[in-house]
Amino acid sequence: MKKRVVITGLGVVSPNGVGIAPFSDAIKNGVSGIRFFSELRDLNFSCQLGAMPEISDEKKRAYLSDLQLRNFLSSGILYGIIAGMDAFKDANLEIAKMDEAPFWDMGIVFGSGTSGVEKFREAIYKIDDKNVRRLGSNSVAQTMTSGVSAYLAGIIGAGNWVTANSSACATGTEALLMGYEHIAQGKATYMLCGSTSDSGPYIWGGFDAIKVTNYKHNNSPQNVEGPMSQGASGFVPGSGAGAYILESLDNAEQRGAKIYAEILGGALNTGGQRLGGSMTAPNSTAIQNCIQNALTDSNVDASEIDYINGHLTATTKDPDEIENWSLALNRNGDDFPYINSLKGMVGHCLAASGSIEIVSSILQLNEGFIFPNVNCDVLHPKITAIISPEKISMKLRKTSLQTIAKASFGFGDVNACAIFKKI
């Protein structure tokens, strides 16, 4: 018998809000975190827009000691630590004391795409300069993929499974499902899960090179065509982190924890880079299978889904995603669930996209609202041919939600879908 798993804590470091309260306000009001970066212009980027959380030095010092912040260059690890510790505190949990046993029932799965590129860059220059001996002690910790989970485990004193996953833009949703399975199987009581992505040109450059980013609005970041719009022609690269405390329902009820939502189940698969799938493009059959498998795993009928938080990156592929949802759920027109995408406000936060978007999904489910799908004055006609425009709200909509779906799709043709229910 699987244990039931709920979410009891949330944390977020988003380009449009750091911390749950500011982020919640921002998404309700459609506040964009997309900005022009002169650094990207000076580096000859096609897309000179980006989305990056703003973290003051004072904020950094609230999470890390002066010693930890010495030569600290990993933006992704910083975001992950802040989001992770905020989720931990939001769940009203206490860290293990320094001279006592670790928190045996607390595990961590915190993923990333690549970690600490700025730190890696510094190290590469020193190594090429035949000065490897001058790297210092923190080069490894700040560049290892498991950096966030290792820092968080040390701060919290986590003593269960502590690891990092990586599945491109599906990383955050995958982390949630890994933590969910571990608790469902009775192997941990709590799992701190989430994902992070570094900021800046060394992360974003590869996407600029393959022309999947938006180069048309460098002078008017407020006008970038958003997800599902007719003019959507490329994403704006983002960064940040999202985190959630997963906990067994039994334990959450026993300690009287605030419960945001139940995780009913989910699915992970890949399209095998076959049937239209490739390193960069999805196999639509695999996406439909992933959504249907998530419903089966959750014991939920497609008709029960009230709302979808899409992957929807604001590229020409958005209509394909809508078609895949429609086919997978066998629903269209007015019968289609509400759907939106956060990427119009925060850009595509890459490895962090799934986790930041899950936080936005859980807030909507818990509080009963649907945030506006911004910068989408004219919907793509291929989308309105499948679903009713009523299902994509451009304004904040207050409505009770019961069962929702979140999916993330990533390079390598990987897919992740999770189903949540209000409790």
Partner 1 sequence: MTSEEIFALLEPIIKTYLPQDVSAQEINRSSDLTRELNINSAHLVDIILDIEDVFNIEFKNEDMEKLRNVDDAIILIQQKISS
Piece of the chain touching partner 1 by CB under 8 A; list 28-36, 62-70, 227-235, 367-375: 62-70
The CB-of-136 to partner 1 minimum distance in angstroms stands at 5
**Which is nearer to partner 1, 98 or 210 (by Cβ)?**
98
Find the shortest distance in angstroms from Cβ 152 to partner 1.
18
Select 65 or 254, whichever has its Cβ closest to partner 1. Answer: 65
Q: Does residue 130 touch partner 1 according to CB under 8 A?
A: no
Pick the closer one to partner 1 by CB: 133 or 398. Answer: 133
As measured in angstroms, the least distance from the Cβ of 71 to partner 1 is 8
Count of residues near partner 1 by CB under 8 A: 8
Among 65, 101, 130, 279, indicate the residue that binds partner 1 (CB under 8 A).
Answer: 65
Q: Which of residues 69-128 bind partner 1 (CB under 8 A)?
A: 70, 98
Interacting residue with partner 1 among 2, 41, 134, 255 (CB under 8 A): 134
Nearest distance from residue 137's CB to partner 1, in Å? 4
The CA distances from residue 312 to 42, 197, 228, 347, in Å, are 29, 18, 7, 11
Span from 20-28, 131-139, 260-268, 342-350 in contact with partner 1 (CB under 8 A) = 131-139
Q: Which is nearer to partner 1, 1 or 98 (CB)?
A: 98
Nearer Cβ to partner 1, position 141 or 349? 141
Instruction: Rule CB under 8 A: say whether 395 interacts with partner 1.
Output: no
| Segment contacting partner 1 by CB under 8 A, of 129-137, 204-212, 241-249, 277-285 | 129-137
Of 25, 132, 136, 399, the residue at the interface with partner 1 (CB under 8 A) is 136
Binding piece for partner 1, criterion CB under 8 A, among 30-38, 59-67, 333-341, 375-383 = 59-67
What token pair was written down for 361?
């999904």
The separation between CA 310 and the C-alpha centre of its own chain, rounded to angstroms, equals 12
In the complex with partner 1, the residue whose CB is nearer, 126 or 382, is 126
* Nearer Cβ to partner 1 (134/211): 134
Binding site for partner 1 (CB under 8 A): 65-67, 70, 98, 134, 136-137
